[in-house]
Amino acid sequence: MAFDFGTRRIGVAVGQELLGSTSALAPLSARDGVPDWRLVTDLVDEWRPDLFVVGLPLNMDGSESEMSRRARKFGNRLYGRYARPVEFTDERGTTRAAKTLARERGRRSASYRDDGVDGVAAELILSSFFTTSPPHG
């Protein structure tokens, strides 16, 4: 299960590593980066992920930003609540790519506030993780 962390919305996607398949889910509303944890628990109970992947919004020079520190905090909370491994992956460029992909999929405005763009960004994060990380078992 992958997350595109944001302070107001958190994109969510699920996937199957063996097949390399991903699917966007509805985004989670957040207040200053904090989701309704009951909704996250419902997703975890429904999808039973083996691990969580959280997009890490790095600066273009690869250094960490305030948002990347907040994304790490979110990932640490996932681990603390659900006792599943958390992997962080570089998400640079996913917002732009998600907007383009959402437009190609027929979204009218494809703004980052559209429901689909948050999930598409989480899908891209998960796909990137699948292609750049060794298989997990």
Domains in the chain: boundaries? 2-132
pLDDT, tens digit, 9 for 90 and up, residues 79-96: 999 999 999 998 876 766
Which of these, 83, 86, 81, 87, lies nearest to 41 by C-alpha position?
Answer: 81
pLDDT, tens digit, 9 for 90 and up, residues 8-34: 999 999 999 888 899 999 999 999 999
Taking residue 70's Cβ as centre, other Cβ atoms within 10 Å add up to 17
Look up the CATH number of domain 2-132.
Answer: 3.30.420.140
- Residue 100 is predicted with a pLDDT of 67
- Residue 19 is predicted with a pLDDT of 86
pLDDT, tens digit, 9 for 90 and up, residues 28-82: 999 999 999 999 999 999 999 999 999 999 988 989 999 999 999 999 999 999 9
